[in-house]
Chain A
Amino acid sequence: MPAKRVLLIDDEDDIREVARMSLEMVGGWDVITACSGIEGLEKAAAERPDAVLLDVMMPVLDGPSTFAKLQENEATRSIPVILLTAKVQSADKRRFAELGVAGVLTKPFDPMLLPRHVSEILGWKE
């Protein structure tokens, strides 16, 4: 069975790097990264990953807007999206739940458990 391919979209270089290492080295997955929503849309359409880990607070095109555009595109509509966010207020969580994403993971995260949590949300067998 080929390794899962995950698209990681986050404008924070350090977080993107840490998450990438976690998914690659702990999860054993292939990771594609994008530093903005726009780049993420392009890579999602081109690479057709198995899942997208999407930061919420990004300039120009934030996470919810990026998700909406992924949903608008026939080619990317079926890709499950998990939000990865440092916004943990209850009002924010309610707002994210209403978007229709597959799940929400909060920052800071445990890099040793991140792939497992993603798998649980998406129903992937490890």
Chain B
Amino acid sequence: MSLSAKLNAGFAGAIVLSAFIGFVSYHSTATSFEQARGARDSLQVLDQLQALLATVLEAESAGRAFRLTGDETFLDACNRTVEAIPGQLTELRRLTLDSTAQRAHLNDLEPAVAAKLAQLNRSIDQRRRHGFEPAVQHQLTQEGAATQRLIRTIIHRMRSEEQRLLDERAASAERAARRALTLIPAGSTVALLMITLALLRIRHDLRERQSADRALRESEASLQSVLNAATEVSIVATDSRGIITVFNSGAERMLGYSAEEMIGKRTPEIIHLPSELEERGRQLSAPAGRPIRGFEVFVYEARQGGHDLREWTYVRKDGRHVAVSLVVTTARDANGEISGYLGIAIDITERRMVAKMKDEFISMVSHELRTPLASIRGALGLMAGGVMDKHPDKARQMMAVAVSNTERLGRLIDDILEIERLESGSVVMTPQSRPAEDLLQQAVATMRPMADNARVELRIDGTATQVYADPDRVLHTLTNLIDNAIKFSPPNSTVTVAAQRQGSEILFKVQDEGRGIPSDKLEAVFERLAQLDSSDSREKGGTGLGLPICRMIVQQHGGRIWAESGEGRGTTFFFTLPAADEIPTAPSEERKRHNAG
């Protein structure tokens, strides 16, 4: 039952009960009044009967005095007394109108009184006309006495009856008063109880409602927090007509619209590419047998049950496109009716880009592997086909092609595996403290034959400084960079390798005097297989993976690598590695030193 219904029921009960108590009180009071009036009437009847009897006796007494004395004074007194009798009888009849029994008695009393008065008149008349005659008077007295007894008897009955009525009325009034005295406090108590219970119930319900409201507010706040915390996910909810009702911070961030601009004002159509919407609408319309367009395109599948997951292109407020994976589901009310829709989208631009890059890398690796393989296959195919049999010089040329391309293929495979190992993190760097100049000397010694072959001078410009790095990987990096520098150096030029302290790092550099790298390519040379756009590197037997490998090695040491160049000014590759004295000493090494000391 709702709070309002409970309120109404509680107060209606209290009002009905109060009305009942009021009615009972009124009824009891009215009864008391009525009984009191009746009692007053009864007392008057009793008084009146007493007065009537006294009047009759007084008239009888005055008449008897006149008969005995003949004194007219008594007769006057008698007459005055008798005159009061009709009024007394009339008053008695009025007072006993509500009692059948009393009226019957009165019917008997009135003729008895009349008879008594007639006898009195006769005896007075007899005395006046014939004087005092004892025998006659005696007889008249006897008759008067009989009538008087009758009157006494009737009055006695009437008094008894009136007394009974009086008692009955008193008892009735007492009962009514007692009932009222019982019902009023009891009813009031019950009414108060009901009101109290209703109020308690209301207070309980109010508390429950307040608690539910608070829980709902907390739940809404929590939901809003979740929605807003999903900054990388666009969450857009609509009502059943498509009007946006929720537009979370992720949607704001992804689409550039504010929630205020969208909620209650727009449908999701505004954030979709119209051409995609039309195309999807056409796809849905055919099987549906009716045109599906506008907002229905997004929700048609979800309405059929389940959810609809597909890729779309969102259009930001600034017009830029965002590739998204959008899942649309329905929201249903307690009756299972669709009350709205929910669309959750994630930005898949990066995913698509990564997939595209992966495809491109595979494509390029495939191309790069197939290129030397094509030379090997072609050279060997020609020899195996016998066409070289009569051309030994060409056969040797083809053999050389096969050998050099086999070596190139080997280097390429090594580099691809190396870069994959570095990317996957399976290569563990084992840094050690080493003099930087030692590493430069080793790298130069390794590359010296190649430099001599290319008539390029290698020069070391090192300073005494300690580097903390994996020596094998540093040598790999240095030889890669020197290899590149020699390849792109003209004969009789110099390649300088150097290392110097710079703050907390050691700065290495490899400088050539070649033709340089265009400034817009300085960053791209570190991309995987960047050489594909430049036959220069391939011409020089490079795999296009050397510089990306160098970058990974340096980055895994926490360093940076970059190139500086200018057309015709040569190129300098720089990279940094941690200086040895900047690395906190490991406890074990400290212990070793302590023990050694």
Does A14 count as interface, using CB distance less than 8 angstroms?
yes
Write the B380-415 contact mask toward A (1 if CB under 8 angstroms, else 0): 011011010001001001100100110000000000
Q: Does A19 touch B at the CB level, under 8 Å?
A: yes
Instruction: Judge whether B378 and A15 touch: CB under 8 Å.
Output: yes
Q: Given contacts A86-B366, A110-B381, A112-B385, are A58 and B535 in contact (CB under 8 A)?
A: yes
> Which interface class (under 10, 10 to 19, 20 to 34, 35 or more) fits B?
35 or more
Q: Given A11-B535, A17-B397, is A22 in contact with B371 using a C-beta cutoff of 8 Å?
A: no
* Interface size counted on chain A using CB atoms at 8 A: 28
Question: Per a CB cutoff under 8 Å, which of B367, B394, B398, B539 touches A87?
Answer: B367
In the bound complex, residues from chain A placing their C-beta under 8 Å from that of B366 are 86-89
Given A12-B371, A14-B405, A21-B387, check contact A110 B377 (CB 8 Å). Answer: yes
A8 to chain B, nearest CB (A): 12
Q: How far is the CA of A110 from the CA of B532 in the complex (A)?
A: 24
Residues of chain A lying within 8 A (CB to CB) of residue B385: 26, 111-112
Q: Confirm or deny: B451 has a beta carbon within 8 angstroms of a beta carbon on chain A.
A: no
Chain B nearest Cβ from A33, distance in angstroms: 14
A108 in contact (CB, < 8 A): yes
**With contact pairs A17-B397, A57-B532 given, residues A109 and B359 touching in the complex (Cβ less than 8 Å):** no
- Is B150 at the interface (CB under 8 A from chain A)? no
Q: A59-B535, A89-B359 are in contact. Are A18 and B367 (CB under 8 A)?
A: no
Residues of chain A lying within 8 A (CB to CB) of residue B384: 112
A86 touches B535 (CB 8 A): no
- Asked if A12 and B377 make an inter-chain contact with CB atoms under 8 angstroms apart, the answer reads no
- Say yes or no: is A99 at the interface (Cβ < 8 Å to chain B): no
B387 touches A26 (CB 8 A): yes
Does chain A have a CB within 8 A of B370?
A: yes
A98 interfacial by beta-carbon distance below 8 Å:
no
Q: A26-B387, A86-B367 are in contact. Are A108 and B398 (CB under 8 A)?
A: no
The chain A residue with its CB closest to the CB of B382 is A111
Minimal beta-carbon separation of A62 from chain B (angstroms):
9
Determine which of B367, B368, B375 lies in contact with A15 in the assembled complex, contact meaning CB atoms within 8 Å.
Answer: B375
**A92 sits at the interface (CB 8 A):** yes
A15 touches B382 (CB 8 A): no
Contact present for B378 and A18 (CB under 8 Å) = yes
B379 within 8 A of A: yes
A46 within 8 A of B: no
Interface string of B11-53 (1 = CB under 8 A from A): 0000000000000000000000000000000000000000000
**For the complex, is B533 an interface residue (Cβ under 8 Å from A)?**
yes
Evaluate contact between A18 and B375: CB separation under 8 angstroms. Answer: yes
By secondary structure, the B interface counts as helix
What are the residues of chain A within 8 A of B367 when measuring CB–CB?
57, 86-87
> Does B534 touch A at the CB level, under 8 Å?
yes
Q: How far is the CB of A59 from chain B (nearest CB, A)?
A: 4
Q: Would A111 and B370 count as touching, CB distance under 8 A?
A: no
Contacts of A112 in B (CB 8 A): 381-382, 384-385, 387
Determine the residue in chain B with the shortest Cβ distance to A88: B366
**Shortest distance in angstroms between B463's beta carbon and chain A's nearest beta carbon?**
40
B355, CB-defined interface residue at 8 Å: no
Which residue of A14, A57, A110 has the most chain B CB atoms within 10 A of its CB atom? A14
| Residue in A13, A108, A110, A112 whose Cβ sees the most chain B Cβ within 10 Å | A108
Q: Does B538 contact A (CB under 8 A)?
A: yes
Q: How far is the CA of A11 from the CA of B534 in the complex (A)?
A: 10
Q: Is the CB of A109 within 8 A of B370?
A: no
| A68 interface contact, C-beta 8 A | no
Residues of B close to A111: CB separation below 8 A: 377-378, 381-382, 385
A18/B398 in contact, CB under 8 A: yes
Contact indicator B534/A18 (Cβ below 8 Å)? no
Please provide the chain A residues from 4 to 48 with a CB less than 8 Å away from any CB of chain B in the complex.
11-15, 17-19, 21-22, 25-26
What residues of B have a CB within 8 angstroms of the CB of A57 in the complex?
A: 367, 532
* Complex partner residue of A108 from B359, B377, B397, B538, CB under 8 angstroms: B377
Verify B382–A59 contact, CB threshold 8 A. Answer: no
Q: Does B195 contact A (CB under 8 A)?
A: no
Which residue from chain A places its CB closest to the CB of B378 in the assembled complex?
A: A18
Q: Which of A19, A58, A91, A92 contacts B378, CB < 8 Å? A: A19
State the B residues within 8 Å of A (CB): 359, 362-363, 366-368, 370-379, 381-382, 384-385, 387, 391, 394, 397-398, 401, 404-405, 532-536, 538-539
Pairs A–B under 8 Å by Cβ, sample size 8: A11-B535, A15-B371, A18-B375, A21-B382, A86-B371, A89-B366, A92-B363, A112-B382
| Apart from A12-B538, A18-B375: 9 A-B pairs, beta carbons within 8 A | A18-B378, A21-B378, A21-B382, A21-B387, A21-B394, A57-B367, A59-B536, A91-B359, A112-B384
